[in-house]
Amino acid sequence: MSKQGSVKKSIVTRVRLAFLGVLLFSCAVVWKIQRIQYQEGERWRALEQERRIVYQPVFATRGNIFSDNESIMATSLPFYRVAWDPSVVSDELFNRKADSLALLLSRFFGDRSKDEYLRKLKNAHNPKARVRYVRLNSRQINFQEKKLLATWPIFRAGKNRGGVIFEKVDKRFRPFGGLAQRTIGFINEEKHGAGLEYTFNKQLAGKDGEALFERLPGGLKPVYDAAEVKPLDGYDIKTTIDINLQDVAENALLRSLMDNNAQYGTVILMEVKTGEIKAVANLGKVADGVYREDYNYAIADQGRTEPGSTFKLASMMALFEDNPELDLNDSVNTGRTGSMKIAGAVKTDSHPYGKISVQQVFEKSSNIGVAKLVNDHFSPEPNKYTDYLKKFGLHQPLGFQMSGEARPYIKDPKDRSWSRTSLSTMSIGYELKLAPLQTLAFYNAVANNGVKVQPIIVREIKQADQVLERFETKVLNPKICSESTLAKVKAMMEGVVENGTARGIRTLDYKIAGKTGTAWKFKNGRYTKTYSTSFCGYFPADKPKYSCIVVVDSPKNGRIYGADVAAPVFREVADKAMARDQASQRPLLARAPLRKAMVPAAHAGMQEDLQLVCSRLGVSNHAEGSSADEWVRADTQQGIKALQWQPMPVRRGRVPNVAGLTRRDALFMLENRGLRVRTVGTGRVTRQSLPAGAPAQRGATIILELKDPTLVAKAALPVLPYAPPRPTVAPEPTVIPEPVSASGQPIARPEGQGTLYPGLKPARSR
């Protein structure tokens, strides 16, 4: 055979082998397809179904945060994303109404033209596309807008025939804007946060439910199934914060910070007997002339500083406890130059005072006088001095309800950093650190006749009107010092305002007791000429009701002393608190008793509608284990301040109980069951001709008797003698202020809203 023939035969053999391989591979593919299709088909279809249908959490509605008078400080409002299931919409309905729906979507959202929306609707409704879920727009709409969209063409047919899906998203809303923003706090998706929202997250969050969702291109579509586990709403927490005093404290602090171009400041106002915090303001500079609640300086680490002269109260108390013979009239020689070397360190006063009394040492805030007294008495045994500080509880945290409390630092003679100068330096408020709340708790103990109580900011945890947990006042130390020592330190603190460094805030209306503080700031290993100013005290001094601390850090406009920067803020807060208390105690003459409804006249209806109204009016309301789309009835008792929603059982094919419903809701419920409805009167349904639970025969007529509760009440009043009518002025409509989100952005609402929900409290203006 020739060489050329051999090559040709080799090529033909290879082609045949390749063809045979392709044929065998094709046969294997066909065999595998047949096996998967017919033998393993059920298993793979079940696996696909299992992976396509998944359980996802249904988040519970977060609980409310209330002030001491049950004004809502934080609540959750419902918002929605609009999605669509085109597979349930008939071709006839779609062809008639798609053009109108596209036009309305374009006008409402404004991000696309009508043609673009129409193209999107047609592409989704195409049978070949087999689309079962499409999100029409990512913008979140509010409840009023949701009700508007539900009336649009195609959508009005409901989720089963119109395919509309409203995905609920709860958003946190603060009716008072930025008031007490850092105290209310926040919590993010990673469960990190601050303030009450973070500390009490377990109680506020509630218990999430579970529901089936179908994985589809574009997102997860809910599958309404009986296996759904409904969420349990979170509990409410009632704080001790007084909204009016909080507003006073924030405004007074803000003015001082701006006037002095300071870095940050804090104000804490507390009730002496109970330890309840009535106001806590924290403002920090975020830009030139702009201050926000950016950090909790009242309790956290950044607010923990060397207190300076406000700590002299603890030093003098230790002196009086260890040396009862020391009298306020005893003299102390502070020198003629205003400077003196004590235990190896030079101590200075703002003015040379010479020989002055112990009372004047405190009134004038003499560093030399306090350091000399403490060093002369305790230098042989400095641990006795620190033991007294520990007895006062200054070395331990208060165990405050909010997380993030700073740990105080009190130097001990056993520490390696202790030196010969430490005793005299600590006596005037250096080489130690306290948070403002810890200093205030100590001063509050003096005002409370030596009883040191734990500050509290949350009074109750509630579900509707039921109190689940109540936090009582806790005593940390029943007696921090003797009665004789208390009498001396009280006299000294009153003298500071009457004759000493804080005489600028003296008032003839009531007495103030307290102590100014001015401390150098320690930076980069040395003390600098920047200051932390403070004033801590209580009022009225003869019968203390409130204690208060004010801290203003790093003032820059020439005023550097606590008496000039912090004390005026204290005085303004004290004036407003005293004026309000006196006004509330003043007898009210010639005032007829008023009958004030504790809750709105909400009887029955859709839960979502009723919850929105109650949230806007500041009324606590709860529903245990019921969906927002269910019909509910109010379960309330006379005199309580909350509503509990109870589900209204609605059986298919049976006449529902529509007592208490409005005419519109009753018509909706009855006509959907094929009944013809006739109504008599106005108001809410009080009687129905067909009993609840009877078979609902399509086409049957039911007569509803309606009455207005207010007219019934008026009819029951006694008949009075006739008097000529006097001209009256029509009342102004109640206008709802524009709601704002947590970030301060306005929340959109539908055109025309503005006179709904009379009685809504207006947002606070700054």
pLDDT in tens, 89-121: 999 999 999 999 999 999 999 888 999 999 999
Q: Is the pLDDT of residue 53 over 50?
A: yes
Q: Which of 97-106, 264-273, 680-689 has the lowest mean pLDDT?
A: 680-689
What mean pLDDT do residues 553-566 have? Answer: 90
pLDDT at 399: 94
Tokens of 397: 């945290």
Q: Which of 78-82, 535-539, 759-763 has the lowest mean pLDDT?
A: 759-763
Q: Are 489 and 514 in contact (CB under 8 A)?
A: no
CATH topology assigned to domain 243-583: Beta-lactamase (3.40.710)
Peptide bond into 647 cis (omega under 30): no
pLDDT tens-digit readout, 387-433: 999 999 999 999 999 999 999 999 999 999 999 999 999 999 999 99
pLDDT at 731: 34
pLDDT tens-digit readout, 700-754: 888 888 876 554 444 333 333 333 333 333 333 333 334 444 444 444 433 333 3
pLDDT at 672: 76
Q: Is the pLDDT of residue 246 over 50?
A: yes
* One-letter amino acid for residue 118 of the chain: L
pLDDT at 61: 86
| 214 vs 138, more confident | 138
pLDDT tens-digit readout, 560-600: 899 999 999 999 999 999 998 877 665 543 444 444 445 55
Whole-number percent of the chain with pLDDT over 70: 80
| 144 vs 548, more confident | 548
Query: Hey, which bits of 636-719 come out as E strands?
Result: 642-647, 676-680, 684-688, 701-707
Confidence of residue 377 (pLDDT cuts 50, 70, 90): very high
Nearest C-alpha neighbor of 566 from the set 490, 499, 493, 501: 501
Q: What is the DSSP letter of 725?
A: P
Residues β-bridged to residue 514: 537
pTM of this structure: 0.71
Query: What's the distance, CA 312 to chain centroid?
Result: 37
Q: Is the pLDDT of residue 506 over 90?
A: yes
Distances (CA, A) of 147 to 88, 144, 302, 589: 21, 5, 47, 48
Stated as kind and residue range, the H or E segment containing 550 is strand 546-553
Phi-psi region of 102 (alpha: psi -120 to 50; beta: other; left: phi over 0): alpha
Domains 243-583 and 607-713 share a fold: no
Please give the CATH architecture assigned to the domain spanning 607-713.
Answer: 2-Layer Sandwich (3.30)
What mean pLDDT do residues 634-654 have? Answer: 66
- Which residue ranges make up each domain of the chain? 8-53, 243-583, 607-713
Q: Are 457 and 270 in contact (CB under 8 A)?
A: no
Residue 93 contacts by C-beta under 8 Å, 6 or more apart in sequence?
Answer: 154, 157, 161, 162
Q: Is the pLDDT of residue 461 over 70?
A: yes
Mean pLDDT over the full length of the chain: 82
pLDDT at 524: 74
Q: Is the pLDDT of residue 132 over 90?
A: no
pLDDT tens-digit readout, 608-621: 677 666 765 656 66
